[in-house]
Amino acid sequence: MKKELFELLLRVADDHLVLGHRVSEWCGHAPTLEEDLALPNIALDLIGQARSLYTYAGEIEGKGRDEDALAYMRREREYHNLLLVERPNGDFAQTVLRQLYFSVFMHGWWREAAKSTDETLAAIAAKAVKESVYHVRHAAEWTIRLGDGTEESARRMAAAVEALYPYTGELFETDAVTDALSKAGIAPDPASLKAEWERTIADVFAEAELALPGEAWQHSGGRKGVHSEDMGHLLAELQHMQRTYPGLTW
């Protein structure tokens, strides 16, 4: 089960590091000063969660890799994050919607993971679930205000829905790793979180006067290390310093 747990921790850690990096790109560029504090705040939560998960993953793996080795010294194909989180920020509407999709999913995931038979994962989840409540609220409030705002903000929100919907299917994918861990009571079965996620999104969209997207073809591959073309650029920027001067104390 160690191999599966390591793989799962890595996936969730990668989701959080990559999204945290994306959100941090907003620093100094958000629409208002208040938002410029809120977004990095969320980015810091995400990176904090990634750090706990990487550290624990390194312990489970037992090969002496710490959080920095896992974050900075793996290549694109070794990253197993969702394609959703590596999507470029786009405009504010797109960032907000990406955040809503992911944090609503993670809120359910952390809540269930807090009941994990694995004590360390349960402890990480118990801390993260509080942060995820805030992330959901922040993203939902903005989705509603933009969707039910001006003609232009509604148009941009609708464009974001169209752009990101094909990346939501991957959230609920299951495979041998998730099956084994959910059977052992270690980590939630992502598919079991789908109905709740859809309900929450539908409620927010209703209030935002946004149309729910119909069925659409879904992208997949992130969990297997098959990424979109944006991922390599993201890692090049993220890892530049460690690649240039590997193994330094900082």
Residues making contact with another protein (CB under 8 A): 31-35, 37-38, 41, 134, 137-138, 141, 145
Least Å distance, CB 76 to another protein, is: 33
Least Å distance, CB 142 to another protein, is: 8
Of 72 and 134, which has the nearer Cβ to another protein? 134
Least Å distance, CB 56 to another protein, is: 23
The continuous run of DSSP H or E covering 38 comes out as helix 33-61
d(CA 144, CA 237): 33
d(CA 111, CA 127): 10
The first and second tokens of residue 67, run together, are: 């959080």
Of 39 and 50, which has the nearer Cβ to another protein? 39
Least Å distance, CB 207 to another protein, is: 12
Of 59 and 141, which has the nearer Cβ to another protein? 141
Least Å distance, CB 232 to another protein, is: 32
d(CA 216, CA 196): 20
The first and second tokens of residue 194, run together, are: 């789908």
Which residue from 80, 141, 123, 131 is spatially nearest to 107, judged by alpha carbons? Answer: 131
Of 148 and 198, which has the nearer Cβ to another protein? 148
Of 21 and 138, which has the nearer Cβ to another protein? 138
Residue whose structure tokens are 């629409």: 31
Of 91 and 196, which has the nearer Cβ to another protein? 91
Least Å distance, CB 13 to another protein, is: 22
For residues 164 and 85, is the Cβ–Cβ distance under 8 A?
Answer: no
CA dihedral 71, 160, 203, 190 (to 10 degrees): -30
The first and second tokens of residue 149, run together, are: 């705002």
DSSP code, position 168: S
Least Å distance, CB 45 to another protein, is: 9
Chain-centre distance for alpha carbon 216 = 21
d(CA 61, CA 137): 35
Of 41 and 228, which has the nearer Cβ to another protein? 41
d(CA 44, CA 135): 12
